[in-house]
Structure formats: C-alpha cells, structure tokens
A and B are shown apart, each in its own frame.
Chain A
Amino acid sequence: MVYIIDIVDINEYIASGILESVTLGIASPQEAQEVACLSQIYPEIMAEFLRIQKRYEEMVVESGTAPDPAIRASILNKIAETPQDKAPESTKQEAKIVSMKPTPEITGVSPMWKMMAAASLILTIGLGSLWFISNREVKRLDSSLASMEKKHLEDSQVLQAMVMEKDHLQTVQEVLTEKSMKTVMLKGTAMEPEAAVKVMWSTDMKKAVMHAEKITPPPANMQYQLWVIADGKPVSVGVFTYDEVEQMTEPFDVNAQNITAFAITLEKMGGSPTPTMEKMVVMGSING
C-alpha cells in the first residue's frame, strides 16, 4: 500500500499542539491513540513526540526534590508482596503488529492472528488517511468560506458607502434648502486666478457647506484652511482636504458674528492659528 502525504500536513499536525497535550496527559484517550498510530507511520511525528517528552522530562528532573530516604524501604517492601497485573489483550495484539514483516517468527501464528493483525494495520493506516483527508476537506471549506466572507465584506462595504453618501447628501440638503441660505462665491487670488469655490451658508442655522468649482490640489503636507473675516479679524472655521473641497464638504459650523468675508489659505497639516496671507488661494466678501 503506497501512502504519500505532503510534508506540510505533518508539520501542521506537529504544530497543532496535540503532541504536547498527549505528553502532559491532558488529551482525550482518542487523541492519545491517534498520536500512537500516526507516530508509528510517520518517523517525523515520532521524533518530535519523543523530543517533547524528553524536554518535559528534563523540566521535571530539574525541579525534582529527593523524597525522604525512609520511603524507599517501605515501597520496596510493598512491591515485594504486590503481584503485577497481566498485560491487556490489546497490548499483546499490538506487539504482534510490530513483527508483521514476514519473519519466521510469524509462520507459526494462527491465521486468525494474522487476520487480526492485518485488520489492525489497515485500521491504523485508515485512521491516518482519515485524518489527512478530513484535514484537506477542512482546508477546502475554509478557503471557500474565506472567499464568501470576502465577497460579503465587499458587498457590505459598498452598502455602507451608499448609506454614508445618502446621509451626507441629506445633511447638505438641509443647509441648502434653508431659507436664510446665502451663496458666497470665493474667487481666485493672484496665486491661482482660475480658482473658484462656492460657500453656501445658512445664517439662521450657523452652518455652511462648500465645494470647489475649480481648485488645484494642495502640495504634499499642506491643507486648505477656511477663514471668515468677523469684526475685521480672521477667524478659522476649519481645515479641509482636497477631496472634501473638490466634491462637497460636510456641513460645518460658522459661529462668528458680523462676518464680512470668507477666504481659503494653504496651511500646514492641521491648520495654523493665523492665516498665511501670501498663501491665500480664494476669497469672497459677503456684500461684494
């Protein structure tokens, strides 16, 4: 019977922690049996199993403490009068499997034993195959589940984007349809004469939105900062990215009193406390 598995599966099996579980005696009897079978078939598993046990034993020896010397005699006396239990049937059976090679030793064995030994061997190999087949099936299901999850995630991301877009348009519309709404056109300065930004501002709601009809993206590490001139002084309204201004910003608060103009300057990321006048891109006055 030819039986080939790829090395990855063995490594995965070893990495699963089952060998340590069996070593520490916390695995189920089925798991212990499985490891016993597979380590007979795969020398790599056997080698690793022995290595782990050796390490565990070393750990225990290092932390060992000698018992009271008096116990020794007591135990030796006790075992002298304690009979040893007979080996269980299964152990004898397995002992036969080891010598399955056609050695002279086996010729005297009854056909029944041969059949049972053969059956055990087939069962052993069967268990091993079953493990690898089921492992493969699990992997296949995992990958199809993963692709379904990915698709689902993409769908839900599209849906989420649509919901966000709808919310955005709704809040923008609230500002735009408000009756105190004013439109202020901000026109390009000498720095960028072609630029044009429209600010739509509701004085009653103290909110505004804006979008650029034409504007050049800011250089790297710079952002747009919107200012109002209130009582003759510039007051920052906030910083905006190119995408926000190019499309349509979220409604933002405009709380200052006696506003006479709006202006946008280019400022470092996060904005500046006062506008950099030579970097003014657009401006527009309320009554102009």
Chain B
Amino acid sequence: MKAGDQKAFAEVYDRYCGAINGVISRFINDEAIAQDVLQDTFIKVWKNILMYDDKKGSFFTWMLNIARNTSIDALRKLKKEGKAEIQILETTVSSSTTVQQNVSTIGLRQLVDRLPAEQQTMIEYLYFKGYTQQEVADELEIPLGTVKTRSRMAMAELRKWFTLLILWI
C-alpha cells in the first residue's frame, strides 16, 4: 500500500472498516456524519501512508488514532457551527450489566468507569474529547504537571486491567 497500490488499500479497508467504524461511532452518534468521518479517515490513511512509521507503533493503532482524531475534529467543527445536539456519546454502563458481561467484551469506556473520578476526567478530556494536555490544564484550571501526573496514574491503573484481561482471555 505504501507503493500506492489501490488493491492493497481495498484489502486494508475490508479488514479494518468494522473496527474503525466502531471507534468513530463511539464519538459520533449521527449516522450521516459518522459516514463522512469514516470516509475522511480512510482518505487520510491513504494520503499519509508514507508518514506511517512502524517504530512509533502498529499500523492498526496508527489508523485507530487517525479515526479518533478525525472524529474529534468533526465534533469540534459541529460545535463551532452550533449543532449542539450532536454530542459525545455517553455510553455509561450500569454496574449490574458489567458483571454479566463477558470479560473479553469490556471496552475502554467500561475500563475507564473503574477509575477514580479525577482520573476518569483526564481520560474523558484527553481521549474522548481529544484535548491536548495543555488544553485540559487551561480548561480545568489545574497545573500542566497535575494533568500529566493524573493521566499517567490513570494509564498505570488501566494497565492493570489490560494485564488482567490478557490473563483472562
């Protein structure tokens, strides 16, 4: 695909479109807009494929981050245009359903729900709202160092869950 092979791109699309669509639908609940974002995501993947650096992570994770960034950009644009009805999806899961859930289907959102409130806030802003660390510091009026510390703590905590999930599966 790096050589500009469109057939290879089609294979990539077929393999990953479901997962990428799933990520986008966590951010955007309007189907038409989500479709635009899916299209923009794959066009960015195609255009920027030579920027992909395998030392900085896997190809799939790279695409997932493009999907997230594109979703957040779209959300910000909508917000600017005053279309406030489209908001970040709140897919909170009640604790009773979590218990019955198959462990392997526990998603990031459910993992985040297990964190202390202040750490949840960090993930909410950094991951789901796509703020930079500096923007979070400004928005919440806390020092940048605190943002870094809390998000690291949240990640170290999530890490335990990641590890547990791997052990269980």
Q: Which residues of A contact B (CB under 8 A)?
A: 15-26, 28, 32, 35-36, 39-40, 49-57, 59-68, 71-72, 74-76, 78-80, 82-88, 91, 94
Contacts and interface: CB of A to CB of B under 8 A. Distances in A.
Interface SS of chain A: helix, strand, loop or mixed? helix
Task: Name the interface size band of chain B.
Answer: 35 or more
A51 B166 CA distance: 9
B58 A84 contact: no
Query: Taking each of A23, A32, A67, which has the highest tally of chain B beta carbons within 10 Å of its own beta carbon?
Result: A67
A189 to B, nearest CB: 59
Interface in B76-135: 104-108, 123, 126-127, 132-133
Contacts of A19: 159
29 contacts: A16-B156, A17-B156, A17-B159, A19-B159, A24-B65, A24-B155, A32-B56, A36-B53, A53-B60, A56-B61, A56-B162, A61-B18, A61-B19, A63-B22, A63-B26, A65-B25, A66-B21, A67-B17, A67-B35, A68-B35, A71-B17, A71-B39, A72-B17, A75-B38, A75-B39, A75-B42, A75-B43, A78-B39, A86-B50
Interface in B27-62: 35, 38-39, 42-43, 46-51, 53, 55-58, 60-61
B162 A20 contact: yes
A54 B58 contact: yes
Given A26-B127, A65-B25, A87-B50, 14 more contacts: A21-B151, A24-B155, A25-B69, A35-B56, A51-B166, A52-B162, A53-B58, A57-B58, A63-B26, A64-B22, A65-B21, A75-B43, A84-B46, A85-B48
Given A23-B61, A36-B55, A57-B58, A80 B6 contact: yes
A240 to B, nearest CB: 44
A64 to B, nearest CB: 4
Contacts of A16: 152, 155-156
Contacts of A52: 159, 162
